[in-house]
Structure 1
């Protein structure tokens, strides 16, 4: 089963930006007035390329066969048995093969998110004789314990580690990891550059 992990905030804001751009493109087309419209379109195109690269494309994809890290300009696939170690800091860093490193762009762990996770892990002090906290169901308690003191990045890092250890226990033969340039990213960049050239030349 394929699971895709992203920064939800960045992903949502990216789609909000695309909606904003779509409205402005319609407006620029309906009220076309030559050079100023072309320049505005080129600026929107350049900004949209940046938003796509840093907000919409990055993803961590977990499949049965291995881990795929989609970064702005490259995609790297690492079979589970090739994963050597997983270290979670600000980003998730996966070492594999012969001292190779895959730095996943998402999910990231900010200082604020880590502080919130530590507050969740701290024991809650009960004041007075009456409980002010709602009673959680067993499933909610289990979820709270699983995430106590952990950020989203920590949790995803654990999933990657568990999959890799399971593959090593089963002694699965690891096919070679491979990386490729992101054709979609270069297509978006090429379109943005074309818009800028048109705005400058015409």
Structure 2
């Protein structure tokens, strides 16, 4: 009776000439996008209005009028887009990206110090730089309303009212909380949780929006040339 030979265990050693598998690169976390819906809507309306008026002049105008309308449209369109549709704030686990009318600012979380909403929403860096958040407009009307409600609630507490009795009059402060306040609260939460993370290190980067500046300058130069030669 013969004894079967043992089956050799499969070897885990890489064969000659083979390349060991590399771990896949970590994918960046998805962005949270903060934008003004009212700003986008107003931008679309203004673009349609500009196209309507300029198109009418270019089709029916005489002499230099169509050229002036074209130059005005080339100048107006990028400016309308810059101040209404373009502004946005992108935030993920590693960095904050601010898209303002004429610049894009990328700030790793380790470079961010704080946020503030006064007359405008702003971010401060560890180096003392300040950048506005055009995509997060501040409603001064809501801010004043919330401040008055908070002042009434404070007076009620000073007079000995309980939270239950003073909450009825102070509830407007929570319902009237500004969009900017909620957005900045979300960004502060991300900053607190990610500022010390290894992936959040780096330096701030600022880039001019040449895709906006270039067409606007071209339209302005065309207007100047038409005016000088008229």
Q: TM-score, normalised by structure 2?
A: 0.67
Matched, 1:162 2:189: yes
In structure 2, relative to structure 1, the CA distance for the partners of 1:12 and 1:120 (3 Å cut) is farther
Match of 2:70 among 41, 48, 51: 41
In structure 2, relative to structure 1, the CA distance for the partners of 1:168 and 1:44 (3 Å cut) is closer
Matched, 1:175 2:219: no
CA shift, 1:170, in A, is 4.1
CA contact (8 A) 1:79 1:174 kept: yes
Q: Distance in 2 between matches of 1:66 and 1:173?
A: 6
Alignment of 1:50-65 (within 5 A): 50-65=79-94
Counterpart position of 2:25:
none
Counterpart position of 2:178:
151
CA RMSD in angstroms comes to: 2.9
Alignment of 1:1-202 (within 5 A): 1-117=30-146, 123-124=167-168, 148=175, 150-168=177-195, 170=197, 172-197=199-224, 199-200=226-227, 201=229
Q: Distance in 1 between matches of 2:54 and 2:209?
A: 26
CA contact (8 A) 2:58 2:67 kept: no
Higher RCO (Cα < 8 Å, 6 or more apart): 1
Question: Number of aligned pairs?
Answer: 184
User: Which consecutive unaligned segments of at least 5 residues does structure 2 have?
Assistant: 1-29, 154-166
CA shift, 1:151, in A, is 0.9
Q: TM-score, normalised by structure 1?
A: 0.75
User: Which consecutive unaligned segments of at least 5 residues does structure 1 have?
Assistant: 126-143
